[in-house]
């Protein structure tokens, strides 16, 4: 006779005491929580609650970067977790194997694009690389050229995310529009008024920070969209960013990104082989930029005589809980190096290439907008 399992009284006490249950669940690894979400609707609701998710640190454990040539041929992985030498997390694009690529990433979720058939239509979908779950975005009711695709997701505020598209006009003189998809309503809607933007606005490099998506420009005012209020505003540009140097050279953006709740920007003079880069940080009230860190290449140049200023890319700024833990991730052909701002020292980071290649096989190095954070998350898509 098969024995029938009867839950013990202690199990019932734990299951019925939410505070005690939370104390137990927060001590479990995320992979275990993913499985426990299927126990009941109550557990699913509890684990998906922003207050519960805020008990877990949203640390960036790695970076995905595409191999850039004529087409994307896979993604390299840069491991930022020194305590772990585990194999790279997989990007399960098996549902959309043709032309799949990451468009944007935000706090553990990725906005991707791909097709089921070799020459089939491209579909946009939101993907959680931790749970391997995805959802295809509903088709947009209006068809226009998409200049920018950005994901806006803050699990500390809401379990829902939004996708922000910047749509171009039919000609350069026609105004742009913003279209927003909400995972809460599963619908698209146009947001706010139309606006004019020049071609020099870096819409492809949108960055989510402080509740908004931000864009920079080499000649026009910087813009940001407050996603919840659906309000488009200008923000200050750094000092002298639009001015030419004495030889007529323009400024060149090296990096624009967010880490640890801070917005950073790096720019220098194109063609000028400077031995340092200033890292600017935006004040939380948008009152202006200030120099937070400096990357000093002098120690690295001493041991690397073949280093070329045309062949490196600042792909990530990591902000630790304290300044001593903060560093820059710099990509050069065949190597990924880390620069600690406090110690002013370089070391090499482990990275896994999607496929082995020789030095001459490296095409354009990935820019920061090509770099996508890997953050473990149990967020629903």
Confidence of residue 69 (pLDDT cuts 50, 70, 90): low
| Residue range 112-130: mean pLDDT, rounded | 83
Residue 256's contacts (CB-CB under 8 Å, 6 or more residues apart) are 202, 205, 207, 214, 216, 264, 265, 266, 368, 369
CA distances from 279 to 255, 292, 372 (A): 9, 6, 20
Q: What is the pLDDT of residue 359?
A: 38
Report the distance separating Cα 172 and Cα 153, nearest Å: 31
From CA 109, how far away is CA 103, in angstroms rounded? 11
Backbone angles phi, psi at 205, to 5 degrees: -105, 40
Q: How confident is the model at residue 94 (pLDDT cuts 50, 70, 90)?
A: low
Stronger pLDDT, 353 or 230, i.e. the higher one: 230
Strand partners, 327: 318, 340
Q: How confident is the model at residue 257 (pLDDT cuts 50, 70, 90)?
A: very high
Residue 6: pLDDT band (50, 70, 90) is very low
Question: In the structure, what pLDDT confidence band is assigned to residue 357 with cuts at 50, 70 and 90?
Answer: very low
Please list, in sequence order, all residues whose beta carbon lies within 8 angstroms of the beta carbon of residue 251, skipping any fewer than 6 positions away. Answer: 218, 240, 241, 242, 243, 267, 268, 269, 270
What's the pLDDT score for residue 251? 63
In 3D space, the residue among 211, 237, 240 whose CA is nearest the CA of residue 289 turns out to be: 237
Residue with the bigger pLDDT between 210 and 176: it is 210
Q: What is the pLDDT of residue 254?
A: 82
Greater confidence (379 vs 213) lies with 213
Report whether pLDDT(214) > 90: yes
pLDDT number for residue 193: 72
- Per-residue pLDDT tens digits for 259-310: 999 999 988 755 555 667 889 999 999 999 999 998 877 666 655 655 555 6
Q: Enter the tokens of residue 28.
A: 């479990």
The residue with tokens 């007529």 is 248
**Tens of pLDDT, residues 301-352:** 655 655 555 667 888 999 988 888 899 998 877 788 888 988 888 888 876 6
Specify the higher pLDDT residue, 265 or 24.
265
Question: Which residue would you say has higher pLDDT here, 264 or 360?
Answer: 264
What is the reported pLDDT for 362? 40
The pLDDT value given to residue 361: 39
Whether 58 shows a pLDDT value over 90: the answer reads no
- Both tokens of residue 329? 């991730």
- Work out the mean pLDDT of the chain and round it to a whole number: 76
Q: What is the reported pLDDT for 1?
A: 46
pLDDT band at 170 (very low <50, low <70, confident <90, very high): low
Whether the pLDDT of residue 60 is over 90: the answer is no
Distance between CA atoms of residues 330 and 349, nearest Å: 10
């Amino acid at each position: 006779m098969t024995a029938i399992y009867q839950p013990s009284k202690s199990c019932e006490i734990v299951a019925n005491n939410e505070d005690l249950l939370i104390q137990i669940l927060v001590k479990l690894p995320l992979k275990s929580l993913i499985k426990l979400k299927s126990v009941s609707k109550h557990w699913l609701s509890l684990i998906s609650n922003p207050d519960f998710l805020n008990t877990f640190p949203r640390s960036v454990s790695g970076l995905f970067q595409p191999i850039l040539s004529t087409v994307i041929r896979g993604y390299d992985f840069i491991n930022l977790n020194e305590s772990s030498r585990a194999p790279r997390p997989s990007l399960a694009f098996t549902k959309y194997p043709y032309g799949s690529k990451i468009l944007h990433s935000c706090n553990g979720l990725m906005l991707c694009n791909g097709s089921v058939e070799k020459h089939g239509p491209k579909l946009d979908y939101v993907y959680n690389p931790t749970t391997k779950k995805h959802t295809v975005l509903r088709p947009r009711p209006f068809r226009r050229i998409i200049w920018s695709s950005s994901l806006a997701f803050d699990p500390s505020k809401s379990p829902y995310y939004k996708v922000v598209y910047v749509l171009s006009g039919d000609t350069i003189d026609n105004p742009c529009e913003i279209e927003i998809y909400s995972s809460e309503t599963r619908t698209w809607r146009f947001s706010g008024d139309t606006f004019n933007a020049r071609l020099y606005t870096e819409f492809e490099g949108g960055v989510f920070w402080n509740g908004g998506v931000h864009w920079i420009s080499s000649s026009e005012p910087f813009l940001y969209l407050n996603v919840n209020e659906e309000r488009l505003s200008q923000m200050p540009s750094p000092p002298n960013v639009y001015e030419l140097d004495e030889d007529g050279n323009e400024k060149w953006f090296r990096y624009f990104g967010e880490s640890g709740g801070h917005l950073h920007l790096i720019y220098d003079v194109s063609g000028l082989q400077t031995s340092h880069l200033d890292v600017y940080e935006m004040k939380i009230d948008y009152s202006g930029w200030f120099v937070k860190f400096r990357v000093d290449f002098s120690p690295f140049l001493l041991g690397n005589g073949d280093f070329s200023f045309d062949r490196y890319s600042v792909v990530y700024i990591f902000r630790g809980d304290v300044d001593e833990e903060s560093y820059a991730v710099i990509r050069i052909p065949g190597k990924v190096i880390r620069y600690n701002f406090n110690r002013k020292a370089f070391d090499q980071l482990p990275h896994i290439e999607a496929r082995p290649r020789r030095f001459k096989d490296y095409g354009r190095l990935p820019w920061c907008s090509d770099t996508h954070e890997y953050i473990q998350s149990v967020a629903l898509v």
